[in-house]
Chain A
């Protein structure tokens, strides 16, 4: 009995506040806009019974999804989100790997401190870390000031409100999420395997590709998903650093919802985004279980 209560409380909470809302969003994505509260129609009235339910289901339609395919804004936004997320994930991996590798090779007693230093920025406000870059990248910002002062450039380089700023922002904001899983797999890597490879005639570079990378692949995959998935839905970075020049689906969703007040279309944008993300999320969860098994065996 006690066990039942213990399971039931968190279970019910998650069903009511996580699962049901998605079903709601899906339902509303099949409705039409209305100028009322709630701003969509039809609404379901449980009192009307079976006939009411049938009428209600009859009024639902996939019009919103059709609308998403007719206006090329949406699929362009989906594609450019995927593209931006993929490229910034690759950049984050390139930046993060040497850091994680260096950390794993650091003297053992300073490793916990290094891990703490990498996690620390993640605890300070996301918004503030993005804001910090606004001050650096602006036309009158510090980087341009510095470059003009050194005489390298005479005109400020436009960096803020460009795709470059978005890639930089995503890399900066999500770097800890890439470094930590990489570090935890690299830290466990047996250095004697690399020595063995070198003894057998591998060059350093070849040993890195043939031994280190394959053994660290779970960490690489986990880190990439941890960056890629939130980057697709990114809203804050896209707005503050990307400005109007960057098209990302998170921003479109916000505009549809808050500016156009078209809740049904916003809901269908969200449902479609979720469908696109389900495959990477499932894949991530498989990698995650494998990482845990690996850890349990070690």
Chain B
């Protein structure tokens, strides 16, 4: 589907994007409000950012969140990549159906159920609740998302390259490190970023599996949000939105650059299939 862009389509997309972005934009604008009242505009000020940075509770919670996020995302990436490799290249083995069920079930499972049942496990085996238990719980959920991201990339990876390396005398391990891994690296990176941002965002599972001294940023934020809207929270939210937006734009730019570099060498498999689907001729010269 292409070409004709009616006024209806333009309006639909524009209204949709406005619906998605306006509320967040308003939060950012009001974080610069000098007035103590949230709804009354009292002039531009960065006052509330100062108040926020003087609040030790939030700083501590942010540190805890980042630490848990780094650990759980890394763990989830390693496990998720392994799971993806098993899903795509594992062939058949006893329990494969169970395995793929276990990989995909957490994607759709309500977090309250996962959080509650993991807590019950931690209590039963006598594991003290804290940053470690939050990390284990989050890594389990995140590894499934990493697996989906990585396995879709792995499925398009040309096996002939691996076979060529094998013919040239590489051991299977060497093939993985020198050929397969560099090829799926962008997917692994975006899987890690997804896992990290999920961890920074997680409230439900963290509230079940947290203990004393493991208050994450969402937990802290939630307990202050419940009492109502405050300018300080607006400032904090704006910072979170800013950091995420910056990270995403950076990865988008990096992705685009690597894609362009790949295009110059070989047209992307997905692009080729899409182009052929639309009956276009693939002109390699154009991409140069």
Q: Are A and B physically bound partners?
A: yes
* Residue A105 lies at the interface, judged by CB distance under 8 Å to chain B: yes
Q: In the complex, are the beta carbons of B79 and A121 less than 8 A apart?
A: no
Contact B24–A24 (Cβ < 8 Å): no
The answer on a CB contact under 8 Å between A108 and B2 is: yes
Q: Which of B51-59, B113-121, B158-166 contacts A (4 or more CB under 8 A)?
A: B113-121
Contact in complex: B237, A125 (CB < 8 Å) = yes
With a cutoff of 8 Å between Cβ atoms, the chain B residues found around residue A7 in the complex are: 86, 90, 93, 99
What's the interface size class on A, roughly? 35 or more
User: Could you tell me the dominant secondary structure of chain A's interface residues?
Assistant: helix
The answer to whether B112 touches A10 (Cβ under 8 A) is no
Binary per-residue interface labels of chain A (249-264) against chain B in the complex, 1 for a CB within 8 Å, 0 otherwise: 0100110011000010
Report A231 CB to chain B, min CB distance, Å: 9
A-B contact count (CB 8 A): 248
B interface, size bucket: 35 or more
* Contact in complex: A191, B16 (CB < 8 Å): no
The answer on a CB contact under 8 Å between A102 and B9 is: yes
* A-binding segment of B42-50, B180-188, B217-225: B217-225
Q: Are A186 and B1 in contact (CB under 8 A)?
A: yes
Q: Are B39 and A145 in contact (CB under 8 A)?
A: yes
Is B221 touching A127 in the complex (CB atoms < 8 A)? yes
Is A95 on the interface with B (CB-CB < 8 A)? Answer: yes
Q: Which residues of A contact B86 (CB under 8 A)?
A: 6-7, 10-11
**How far apart are the CA atoms of A37 and B222 in the complex, in Å?**
27
B134 contacts chain A at the CB level, 8 A cutoff: no
- Report how far A257 CA is from B120 CA in the complex, Å: 11
Binding site for B on A (CB under 8 A): 2-3, 6-7, 9-11, 13-15, 17-22, 24-25, 28, 37-38, 95-96, 98-99, 101-108, 114, 116-118, 120-121, 123-129, 131-136, 138, 140-142, 145, 172, 175-176, 179, 186-191, 225-226, 229-230, 232-233, 235-236, 239-240, 250, 253-254, 257-258, 263, 266-267, 270, 273-274, 277, 281, 284-285, 288, 298
Q: List 27 A-B contacts (CB under 8 A).
A: A6-B86, A7-B93, A10-B86, A14-B103, A18-B102, A25-B117, A25-B120, A37-B123, A99-B13, A108-B2, A120-B245, A123-B248, A127-B201, A135-B38, A145-B39, A175-B19, A176-B20, A179-B16, A190-B1, A230-B110, A236-B222, A250-B112, A266-B116, A270-B113, A273-B113, A274-B109, A298-B277
